[in-house]
Structure 1
Amino acid sequence: MSEPFKILIFSRTTAYRHKSIPPSIRALHRLASASGSGPHPFTADDTEDASVFTPASLAAYRVIVLLQCSGEMLDDDGQLDALKGFVRSGGGVVAVHCASFAMPSSEWYGRLIGAVFDNHPAPQPGRVRTLDPEHPIMTCRRLLDESHYERGDDEMTAGVVERTWVDEWYNFKAHPRRATPDGGLHVLLAVDEKSYEGGVHGDDHPVAWCQSFDGGRCFYTSLGHFDEAYEDDWFMGQILGGILWAAEA
């Protein structure tokens, strides 16, 4: 077993605030507690105090989880520079749902996340396809619960896992595959726009991806609007996988 590493859960909002923030914080602490019996243990701190964004404070962490952040979550350029320095020194970022609606003043932040939120239709069921079921982020769900396949909640055909999921289906200001200059996003999940109303990206609508960016790693999922997501092993397995992948654990 390796030495535990630390993650920072940051959930500050200055615009829309999700009611699912408290249960999502509790869920991440449960992941941290459960990790103690696994090969890659980690501990978690949570805060909404942006003053933690200094080079000295962030040096204690291997991963920052931007959990449902919105609006200008950082107070000044010094705090943004601390985040940039963290990433450029190899730090990992896991960004959840509304985090693509944060820091509209920073073009760099938009590239870190991989896309910028534009709008969404009313929450409704949609059919999600897993495009790379063997990616380490996606296989971590097996550490939590293998029973989705046994219950028939998922269908595996031709190497693609599909699942019906209820969420806010985010539309982005630019298509995620074209939002980064080098097209470096590795898309993990896409939603079938024919399965719901209100999509604008066509047959290829990414909803979760990862990338190496500016020296570090970032995993982003646009899912996670409702409290129930943070009790779901399929979804929380991806969050766990994202943390371990971003930490290069």
Structure 2
Amino acid sequence: MRLHRLVLMTALLLGAAQALAHPRVLVFTRTEGFRHDSIPAAVEALRRLAAEEGLGFAHSEDPAVFDDAALADVAVVVFANTTGEAVPPPHQGALERFVRRGGGYLGIHAAADTGYDWPWYGGLVGAWFLSHPPGLQTARVHAEPADPDAPAWRVTDEFYDFRENPRPRVRVIARLDTADHREGRMGADHPIAWCHDYDGGRAWYTGLGHTEALYRDPRFLEHLRAGLRWSAGLQPDCR
């Protein structure tokens, strides 16, 4: 009996060590509303970024992946253009516990159009989607704090307005130039990407990522890389 317990304990410790040595990125793309054509491109871009950062990778649309055991070796959960009530209540607690244990969350674009009946998730993502002007827009995106040496980043995408300005609760890392985005409803200050510590973990969100073309844009890919690295605990700065 003692030998059996020793073998079992050793196996558990080895499994835990392997999980820590090879943490995974879990990309979740379930949609219960509008479905973005860019989801496959987002998944492949994140797969490449994870490999380049030495992280394991998994992709699922099954909310059953939000399970304490299944999340044990996950460093960051990515909601890539999810919509609607993508995580039903029976599985919500596991994601909450994952974040409270220090896990990371990364939300892309329609991740803010998700979980309206889940107040905890609204706090995690930082702000919920309100509306967007029809069609695609082109606008300059400014990093915060401003980098005088960086050229203006002109982005063509679908730009979200949010129900509230998240700035009082998060660290804004990029905003839209409202001189370019005259149809927006956010007023003079329009955050488009941010990060914050939340309930014991880390949360990073970008409102960009509607179009498939963006996932081939080197600057957008570096934007996602920074979010992935920070959410996974690989760098101290979320920009």
1:78 alignment counterpart? 90
Q: Taking structure 1 as the reference length, what is the TM-score of the superposition?
A: 0.82
Structure 2: where are the runs of 5+ without partners? 1-19, 235-239
1:56 alignment counterpart? 69
| Partners of 2:126 and 2:169 within 8 A in 1 | no
1:132 to partner: Cα distance: 2.9
Distance in 2 (CA, whole Å) between partners of 1:9 and 1:192 is 30
Deviations 1:195-218 (A, max 9, x none): 123111222110000000000000
Of residues 193-202 and 103-112 in structure 1, the stretch that sits farther from structure 2 once superposed is 193-202
Distance in 2 (CA, whole Å) between partners of 1:211 and 1:201 is 20
1:93 aligns with 2:105: yes
What secondary structure does 2:153 align onto?
strand
1:164 aligns with 2:121: no
Deviations 1:151-210 (A, max 9, x none): xxxxx53x6652111011110111112xxxxx3300010001111231112221100000
What secondary structure does 2:74 align onto?
coil
1:151 alignment counterpart? none
Runs of 4+ in 1 over 4 A off after TM superposition: none
For residue 214 of structure 1, the aligned residue among 181, 199, 220 is 199
Of residues 160-169 and 185-194 in structure 1, the stretch that sits farther from structure 2 once superposed is 160-169
1:78 to partner: Cα distance: 2.6
1:184 alignment counterpart? 169
For residue 205 of structure 1, the aligned residue among 175, 178, 190 is 190
| Partners of 1:132 and 1:160 within 8 A in 2 | no
Given residue 197 of structure 1, which amino acid in structure 2 is its aligned partner? Answer: R
1:32 alignment counterpart? 50
1:109 aligns with 2:121: yes
Of residues 208-217 and 24-33 in structure 1, the stretch that sits farther from structure 2 once superposed is 24-33
Structure 1: where are the runs of 5+ without partners? 36-40, 134-155, 178-182
| Partners of 2:142 and 2:176 within 8 A in 1 | yes
CA 55–120 in structure 1, closer or farther in 2 if over 3 Å, else same? same
Q: Taking structure 2 as the reference length, what is the TM-score of the superposition?
A: 0.85
| Partners of 2:22 and 2:73 within 8 A in 1 | no
Distance in 1 (CA, whole Å) between partners of 2:165 and 2:122 is 12
Rg comparison, structure with higher value: 2
RMSD: 1.5
Distance in 1 (CA, whole Å) between partners of 2:156 and 2:117 is 30
Ranked by relative contact order (alpha carbons within 8 Å, sequence separation 6 or more), the top structure is 1
Equivalent pairs: percent with the same residue?
Answer: 36
| Partners of 1:53 and 1:79 within 8 A in 2 | yes
